[in-house]
Each structure stands twice: as structure tokens, then as C-alpha cells.
Chain A
Amino acid sequence: MTDKPWQDLIAVDELEKDWVTRVELGRRIIAVYDTTTGLYASLALCTHGGADLCDGYFDEHVIECPLHQGAFDVRDGKPIAAPATRPMRVLDVRVRDGQVQVRI
């Protein structure tokens, strides 16, 4: 259990349906994924080449990098397609009072 506080990120209504939404939290860029099994969030920069995953292709639970097409499972951050080899950092996410919150 982490004791880091939950932080408001974005209203649920503002999320792109079945797609990835880019949100800035301080100096960090967070990717929020709307999927059939719920919301997931991760740091937005690809662990391979540093491109912004929010501009990538999103399908089911897989986000694909716009630069080299490395891909990650947004549920656990696991790399699932080359050239991505290192996992991306996923964040705890929840919805409270219509707001998406993350713990970072």
C-alpha cells in the first residue's frame, strides 16, 4: 500500500471515449486510457524512444508508440511489441465525484 495522495486529473466526461487522453499534471504528462474494462493511466512517454504515447494508436488494451510502434499493455505496463523492451510505469487510478484521480 502506498501512502501517496490521490490527485485530481481530469473530469471523466472530458476523456476521449475508447481512446487515450493526454493530461498534464505539473511537469508530468499522463496518459489516461478508456477501455472496455475500465480506466487505466500511465506516464505518457515511451520507455524506448521518449515519444508521447498519447499521440499513438490505441486498440483494446494496447497503446502503440507513434514513433517506432513499440507497444504496451496499459493494464500492467508490460511491453508487448518490439522495439519496446522496458515496461512503462502505470499509475493507480480511480474515479471520485466525476473526476479521474491518480496516485503518483
Chain B
Amino acid sequence: MAHRTVTPLTQALEEGKLTRDELKSLMQRSDGPAFRHLALWVVVLTGTTTLITLAGNSWLIWPAMMLHGIVLVHHFSLQHECVHYTVFRTRKLNNLVGQLCGLIIVLPHRFFRYEHCDHHTYTQLPGKDPELIPMPKTYGEYLFYLSSIPYWQAKFSELGRHAMGRLSEAEKHFVPREEHAAVFREARVMLAIYALIFAGMAITGWWGLIWYWVLPLFLGEPVMRFIRMTEHVGRPTVAQMSENTRTNLVSAPWRFLCWNMNYHAEHHYVPLVPYHTLPRLHEKLADHVHVEPRGYLGAHLDMLRQIREARA
């Protein structure tokens, strides 16, 4: 018999923070909101792509690529929702879109699903949460993380390791044995697709994807690191969901880009709730989770304050 894990959701139901009827209503899936969101997403991507084209050979190409990159790295948010099967009604469509997003941001979807499972089980517990970003001890560590250098180092070594048919000891904890081969295959397929894309560019002599995809991705990633830090960094490293996760109140454009994942504590309470009903869940749970009313910037001010106080 399986060992019982008491989820934050089960706790919330037992404590009366949510009723089963409310939960059922919040969990209902539908393709409509996602298709509307995606339509606007394509318009935004078309706009930022056009800016790069218009910038041409001028220095303006760099801010244009930065802007485009900020949108590109937010494919992580969409992929993350797809991992939870909550963007679209069917698992098939969630998997397909998740895999496409993974290709754009170099994050193998299947592997991410397993890694993310342990993040939800052991949120913010050192040594157990595979996605834990340690609280920086110095301003230098803080800036180094934001540079995305450690992130890319980890991601590229992860991809290479899997393509060579190996998992780290930590990864063996969350990837079931029967899925090892699938994870290795996924990494190899991903690398093969990238190789084909680059070979295609070399053969045709059209290197546009460097300007429309590769450089913007690297330019935009620090912004994603900035946002990802606001979810848990600086919160206590304890199991209590009400303490270890931060919900950030941000403006509509940011909510659009991150698919409402700023309601992060609510998401951790009930990962089954689709992104488009998270604001309603926030209304129910706002008094039971940690909310940063100053948004992403406020979360970083909190982290910087903690670094300053620890050094004093």
C-alpha cells in the first residue's frame, strides 16, 4: 500500500479554506481561455520579431532582441502549465505544446515533468527540492545567479549527460527507472533537432535564427531568473506552503506573460487549478499564503535586505 502524502490541497480542504464544490469549479478545464491567450501571444511575438527586423543593422537591434527575449523566455511559464496538464483540456495538446516550448527554451519536457514533481513534493527543502535556488549570501552571488551563467551551465550539462545515457544521483531519485530510456531519448532527439536547425542555417547561409531566437533567448534569460527567484528565494526553507512560497502581485502585462504564475503560492496549494482560474483561487486563499504586494521588485528588495542584514 502506498504511503500517504498529505498535500497542501488536502490540508486546505480539511481546514475549510476551500470547499469541494469550490475546488471542482476552480479545476474545470477548457481550451477557450488558452486559445485566446495564445492568439494574443502570437501577436506579441510577431510584434517583437518585427522590431528586430526593423532595427536591422542599427544598435537598436540589441534592445529589440532583449524585448523579444523577454517574451521568449516566458515560454517557460506556458511549458510549466503544460507540465501540470492545465492549459488545455486534453493531455495530448498539453504535451505537444509543452514539448514545443521546451524546444524553444532548451528544457526537455519529460525530464522537466519529473524534476518538477519533486519540486512540488519537497518545495524549498534543501537537498530534496531539485529546483531550489539557494538564498544568495552575498551581492556577488545574487548577481552571478541573475547573470544566468549558473543556470545555463546546469542546463547544458544536464542535456549532455542525458544524451550520453546518464543521470546524476539526485536525478535518479525523481526519474523512475522505467522512464530512464525515455529521458535519454528525449535529450538525443532535442540535440538532433538543434543540430538539424544549425545545419540548415549553414547550408542556406541564412543565420536569422541567431538574431530571432538564440541571442534573444540568452539576453532574456536573466529576466526569467529574476522572476523565478521571486517564487521562493528568501522565504523560509520549511515544508509549510503558507511560508515557503511567495505570491507576487504584478501588473496585467506581466500576468499575461507568466500565465498567472505570479500567484505562485496558490499554484502550489492546488497545482490542478488552471492558470485562468488562479486569480479566483487567490481570492479564496489570500489570507493563508504569503503575498508580496510590491510584486517582483518587492520580492527582490526583500532578498537584498536579507543579504544586507546577514552581512551586518
| Contact indicator B27/A57 (Cβ below 8 Å) | yes
| Contact indicator B117/A83 (Cβ below 8 Å) | yes
Per-position contact with A for B264-305: 1 when CB-CB < 8 Å, else 0? Answer: 000000111000000000000000000000000000000000
Q: Determine if B113 is an interface residue (Cβ-Cβ < 8 Å).
A: yes
Q: Determine if A9 is an interface residue (Cβ-Cβ < 8 Å).
A: no
Q: Determine if A46 is an interface residue (Cβ-Cβ < 8 Å).
A: yes
> Interface extent on A, as a size class?
20 to 34
Per-position contact with A for B2-32: 1 when CB-CB < 8 Å, else 0? Answer: 1111110110010000001001100101000
| Distance between Cα atoms of A90 and B245 in the complex (Å) | 36
Q: Determine if B121 is an interface residue (Cβ-Cβ < 8 Å).
A: yes
State how many angstroms separate the Cβ of B2 from the closest Cβ of chain A: 4
| Contact indicator B117/A71 (Cβ below 8 Å) | no
Q: Determine if A91 is an interface residue (Cβ-Cβ < 8 Å).
A: no
Q: Helix, strand, loop or mixed for chain A's interface? A: loop
Q: Which residues of B contact A57 (CB under 8 A)?
A: 27, 29, 272
Q: Determine if B162 is an interface residue (Cβ-Cβ < 8 Å).
A: no
Q: Which residues of B contact A50 (CB under 8 A)?
A: 2-5
| Contact indicator B5/A67 (Cβ below 8 Å) | yes
| Contact indicator B272/A56 (Cβ below 8 Å) | yes
| Contact indicator A49/B85 (Cβ below 8 Å) | no
- Identify the 10 closest CB pairs spanning chains A and B, nearest first: A50-B5, A45-B2, A68-B117, A50-B2, A50-B3, A51-B7, A57-B272, A67-B7, A85-B176, A66-B9
Known: A29-B4, A55-B10, A67-B121. 5 other contacts (CB 8 A): A50-B4, A50-B5, A56-B272, A66-B9, A69-B84
